[in-house]
Amino acid sequence: MWFDDIYNNATAVNAPFGSNWVQNTDGFDTMDANNIILTNMVYQGGDDCIAIKPRSYNIFVQNVTSSPVPTYLVYLLISV
């Protein structure tokens, strides 16, 4: 599955100045995913830009912009 030209904005416009990032708003998550292509993505938010979760394989990511800095670009959760 191919996802291209994605824009995610996880901000709250009515929040008080300096605190407009909405929490727990991952930009792109995978769960039980296989053969994923993610290209040309822009993420603005206060959580993980990309969260690759359990049982996800063959994930290709290219040309991703994440802000504000610092934020986690890729969060890898591995169950043991």
Q: State how far the alpha carbon of 71 is from the alpha carbons of 13, 17, 19, 25, in Å.
A: 20, 19, 15, 12
What amino acid positions are annotated as catalytic residues? 47
- Which residue carries 């603005």 as its tokens? 44
Q: What are residue 71's DSSP bridge partners?
A: none
